[in-house]
Structure 1
């Protein structure tokens, strides 16, 4: 995904601020930034740091990763990965050990899917225990 320009970040922030029914001054106060600085961000004149984006996201009650994508700091895939990890870590119904195991499994699947599949193997077909395609008989010897 191509990174968005700083102007789009400002427009997005303004839209989020209005949706939250906050004035520029209220958001600036809640995020701990100056009113003029926030105004410059919204008008696309300033590019805020990741830390400022995090403060703004917290004040707007949206994910910081969403703002990072808008600012071109993160791409959409990275955001999705971070949000998935956050959901797993925040789940109160599983214990810490289970969370870590689930994250390890998730990461192993991501790595497995990131590697190129051989051109003669179906990408999504079922596999047998030895890794061969389950839909075809094994080669005769």
Structure 2
């Protein structure tokens, strides 16, 4: 007769007897269900967050929903659903919305969870989010700023490679 284990017991064990395979499967399914539920909450929050962020940026830029929908190439009802957190736009749609708002697509990607937030300086953030500057002007300002930082041997605060490569094609 085997001695009964007390410490480190499998949660499905009863009175020293191992849990039945069906019980273990049931427990695993319950755990997976809990994890999925938590993930859905996080995704739901991210969708609401990107929608409210787009709405606030649109309102700050004093652009109507109809104007933004037209410039982004999406329908007015679709954009409304995005802003209310009912739909999660693709990276391509986010890029079009960013162009329509004249803001950094990277900022939208970070809010949507597509990109991880990178450490950036206040100057870079201010330039990238300034609605009065076009993309070329933003790039020129950031290039000058970064050249001064390099000249002074300070850490690089350069925007992502996609922004850098798109600016190089315009030069």
Q: TM-score, normalized by length of structure 2?
A: 0.46
Shift of 1:31: 0.8
Shift of 1:91: 3.1
Structure 1 segments (4+ residues) deviating >4 Å: none
Shift of 1:87: 5.1
- 1:10 and 2:51 correspond: yes
1:55 equivalent in structure 2:
96
1:38 equivalent in structure 2:
79
- Structure 2: runs of 5 or more not aligned: 1-41, 126-137, 145-155, 157-171
1:91 equivalent in structure 2:
143
Comparing 6-15 and 69-78, the one that deviates more: 69-78
Shift of 1:38: 0.3
Q: TM-score, normalized by length of structure 1?
A: 0.55
- Structure 1: runs of 5 or more not aligned: 93-105, 107-141
1:120-141 per-residue CA deviation (whole Å, 9 max, x = no partner) reads: xxxxxxxxxxxxxxxxxxxxxx
1:27 equivalent in structure 2:
68
1:75 equivalent in structure 2:
116
* Larger radius of gyration between Structure 1 and Structure 2: 2
